[in-house]
Homo-oligomer: A and B are copies of this chain.
Amino acid sequence: MTEELAAPLSAEDQMVQSMADASPTKWHRAHTTWFFETFILLPHARGYRPFDERFTFLFNSYYKRLGGHPVRAQRGLWSRPSLAEVGDYRAHVDRHIAAMLSDGVSPEIERLLELGVNHEQQHQELILTDIKHALWVNPLQPAYTESSTEPRCQAAPMQWLDYPGGEREIGYRGDGFCFDNETPRHSLLLRPFRLASRLITSGEYLEFMNDGGYRRPELWLSEGWDEACGNAWDAPLYWHRDGDRWLQFTLAGERDVEPAEPVCHVSYFEADAYARWAGARLPLEAEWEVAATALPVAGNLLEERRLHPAAARGSGLQQMFGDCWEWTASPYVGYPGYQPDPGALGEYNGKFMCNQMVLRGGSCATPRSHVRSSYRNFFPARARWQFSSLRLAK
């Protein structure tokens, strides 16, 4: 999948880093390979020699216990190693992983392989969100993929679905893979709540904008208002006005904002302001998980190759998986009794548990096998370049 996602991009495209938060495609491809080499091949494959000693430092993202890493904001300056060398690096590591697998591996290594695959799936989504930003800052605004024009349609009407309160359990349950931040499963008390049946649409969001949403401080968190003013936000990221029309940049290039589609690329601050304007609130992550737990993981996910959110068409609780990540009202903290994985892998999740908000449900850029009802994504409240949207709660 990683290689398929990178395939439409030239060596030049794969080198762009359009802001410090994003990374070049080439870096994503090398770093995910480094992960397998560092955590599996080097400690566990007898006689394994690193492809290039210098990559050990070069493609470490942020694991301090492994002894240092380059400055994140300069990843876009690395014309060397070339894309071809990174391709060789991937082939080399793939070959050794395959050899290991054919020999049979221990449960511990199986667990590490699963982690490596899940890690790479996260970077598959980032490849798409980061290249979307990179192509957008280019004055030519080229498309990543062919346009998939679809007939305009209506979104299914929004309904309120009721959920009882009481003691509930959240957190991962099962024998499969999960990240440490989904554990331990634990009980908590919920009050009765209501969830909207689908995501907020661009059309609904336009009403908020037309009602002065970006000019009324009483709707905003204090820090959100400062962020909005300081960056002159007046619409979601990738939107711009052309006379009477609103246009949006998509992975298929620029096109009209479709009122029926979910609004996308909004920050937590915007999601929160919209909810306040609408007389509602964002759901807690526990509310979301309780509602999602019985649903199959299905929807407009990466395998659909749509790469853009789609209008809700069904009835009942929709769009819980896929389309867009949903900002929740829950700050990202460890669950009661949370223990990070041991060693350097413990830096994967735990050290980011501050000043981030939880998002749930996956997006049109998330691999289907990657997400589940207990899955916790997280980003700072100001982040907008992910496929992020909102669902109302009461």
Q: Which residues of A contact B (CB under 8 A)?
A: 9-18, 54, 57-58, 62, 64-65, 70, 74, 76-83, 134-135, 137-140, 142, 167, 186-189, 191, 217-218, 220-225, 268-269, 272, 329-331, 333, 336-337, 347, 351-355, 381
Q: Which residues of B contact A137 (CB under 8 A)?
A: 74, 77
Q: Which of B70, B138, B218 contacts A64 (CB 8 A)?
A: B218
Q: Are B352 and A222 in contact (CB under 8 A)?
A: yes
Q: Which residues of B contact A217 (CB under 8 A)?
A: 64-65
- Other than the given A223-B354, A330-B333, 15 more pairs (CB < 8 A) read A11-B12, A12-B80, A13-B80, A16-B77, A17-B77, A58-B139, A65-B217, A77-B138, A78-B140, A80-B135, A80-B138, A80-B140, A187-B189, A188-B188, A218-B347
3 nearest A-B pairs in the assembled complex, by CB-CB distance? A64-B217, A331-B331, A12-B79
**Closest Cβ of chain B: how far from A261's Cβ, in Å?**
27
Bound complex: CA of A187 vs CA of B14, how far in Å? 52
Q: Which residues of B contact A76 (CB under 8 A)?
A: 76-77
B12-A82 in contact (CB<8A): yes
A378 → chain B closest CB, angstroms: 12
Assuming the contacts A220-B351, A381-B354, asked whether A77 and B18 have C-beta atoms less than 8 A apart, the reply is yes
Residues of B within 8 A of A330 (CB): 333
> How far apart sit A344 and B62, CA to CA, in the bound complex (Å)?
44
24 contacts between A and B (CB under 8 A): A9-B79, A12-B80, A12-B83, A15-B15, A16-B77, A16-B79, A54-B139, A54-B140, A70-B139, A76-B76, A77-B134, A77-B137, A78-B140, A79-B138, A81-B140, A167-B189, A186-B191, A191-B336, A191-B337, A221-B353, A222-B351, A224-B354, A354-B381, A355-B381
Shortest C-beta distance, A63 to chain B (Å), equals 10
CB distance A78 to B138 under 8 Å?
A: yes
A329 neighbours in B (Cβ, 8 Å): 333
**Contact between A333 and B331, CB atoms less than 8 A apart:** yes
Q: Are A355 and B12 in contact (CB under 8 A)?
A: no
Query: In the bound complex, do residue A221 and residue B12 qualify as a contact, i.e. CB atoms below 8 Å apart?
Result: no
Q: How far is the CA of A330 from the CA of B189 in the complex (A)?
A: 17
Which one of B10, B64, B351 lies within 8 Å of A11 (CB-CB)? B10
Cα(A70)–Cα(B351), bound, Å: 37
CA distance A64 to B79 in the complex (A): 32
Cβ of A222: which chain B residues have Cβ within 8 Å of it? 62, 347, 351-352, 354
Could you tell me if B77 and A221 are in contact, using CB atoms closer than 8 angstroms?
A: no
How many whole Å from A145's CB to the nearest CB in chain B? 14
- Give the distance in Å from the alpha carbon of A65 to the alpha carbon of B331 in the complex: 27
**A278 to B17 CA separation, bound complex (whole angstroms):** 40
Chain B residues with CB under 8 Å of A15's CB are 12, 15, 79
Q: Determine how close the nearest CB of chain B comes to the CB of A7; give it in whole angstroms.
A: 15
User: In the bound complex, what is the Cα–Cα distance between A157 and B283 (angstroms)?
Assistant: 44
